[in-house]
Structure 1
């Protein structure tokens, strides 16, 4: 069965996400990604105009999937908004504690690296992380409405602080190869949401 062009592009992006979540962006060559994806080396520029455009497409694809996963968690039936938020953070803890705390989050792995390398990748990261904070804000606001949580400030500021804290905790878990920072983030999250 022939490979459909969109499937090949998606395969390249998915393969790149897996490899770059371990190695970073600059350390991975296009040929490594294409070889792993089983795509002929000469066809890269058929799908992407440059490594920069490829990186931007990879980040956008990653955030599209990530935000869809968040939407599923925050739409779980028969749970309070507070429980949905805790389920989200528990999922974060689990994915970031994999492989000796090397995690799978491209925002954690590539954020600082590519923000200095590529303006288009930085903007894709900015849009993606803003989408995360937007969803956290809506979940917190829903929790305020259903009475399952409370915050001392406003929902937006609390969402931003929580995301920033978890991002930092993920970096510290990678540095120390220990989930202590993630556990501390969960403890502080519960305090900030008065749970």
Structure 2
């Protein structure tokens, strides 16, 4: 393994280790030493891999969206079932992951959105661009469902996708407030209604 590959592997290891910690505690509450200890990286070496904590946060969000978008793409490209069925499976997976409490390691958009937008303009832009890319993928799902007849072709795909994504982000925040699944149940019912699917 050459030096560049080794550098990349260690950098990725730090990001992978930090993701569940920051997903649980938030960005500002986690110190660099906590991350380095968890990653078993010598103290003081952080700046060898990241120019600053803000640059680290940028890399963390970029990695999050790259991974998240790849998961949506894989679901979109599956051949099992209709596009509408796969689209509803996306929301079911969202709900089930949050209800099970298994989201600390990957749901950084919800966890960090409000916090880092006030700390870093660059991190805000990464979140903005990432959310837009998610909505683009969801619009592709809707368009595919309208094309194969599994979703009614009664609305433009992009605005509908944006509304659904906003609905589920809001439900996720409310679920954090209430510590129960009712916001997700309401979001699921509203999603089916907005898509013109039977309850």
Determine the structure 1 residue equivalent to 2:78.
Answer: 76
Inter-partner Cα distance in structure 2 for 1:100 and 1:37: 20
Inter-partner Cα distance in structure 1 for 2:169 and 2:74: 21
Determine the structure 1 residue equivalent to 2:152.
Answer: 150
**CA shift digits 1:99-156 (9 cap, x unpaired):** 3987841111000000111011111111111110000001101111111012543111
Alignment pair present for 1:23 and 2:25? yes
Inter-partner Cα distance in structure 2 for 1:100 and 1:125: 21
| Structure 1 residues 55 and 101: CA distance shift in structure 2, 3 A | closer
TM-score (norm 2): 0.92
Q: CA deviation at 1:190?
A: 0.8
Determine the structure 2 residue equivalent to 1:13.
Answer: 15
Inter-partner Cα distance in structure 2 for 1:64 and 1:101: 16
Q: CA deviation at 1:78?
A: 2.6
Specify the SS of the correspondent of 1:32.
helix
Inter-partner Cα distance in structure 2 for 1:59 and 1:103: 12
Inter-partner Cα distance in structure 1 for 2:185 and 2:6: 44
| Structure 1 residues 31 and 175: CA distance shift in structure 2, 3 A | same
Determine the structure 2 residue equivalent to 1:164.
Answer: 166
Determine the structure 2 residue equivalent to 1:99.
Answer: 101
What's the Cα RMSD here?
1.9
Q: CA deviation at 1:18?
A: 0.7
Determine the structure 2 residue equivalent to 1:67.
Answer: 69
TM-score (norm 1): 0.94
Residues 151 and 158, structure 1, Cα contact 8 Å, conserved in 2? no
Specify the SS of the correspondent of 1:148.
coil
Specify the SS of the correspondent of 2:119.
coil
Inter-partner Cα distance in structure 2 for 1:180 and 1:100: 17
Specify the SS of the correspondent of 2:44.
helix
**CA shift digits 1:9-61 (9 cap, x unpaired):** 01111111110111001101111111111111111111110111100000000
| Structure 1 residues 100 and 4: CA distance shift in structure 2, 3 A | closer
Inter-partner Cα distance in structure 2 for 1:110 and 1:34: 20
Residues 16 and 33, structure 1, Cα contact 8 Å, conserved in 2? yes
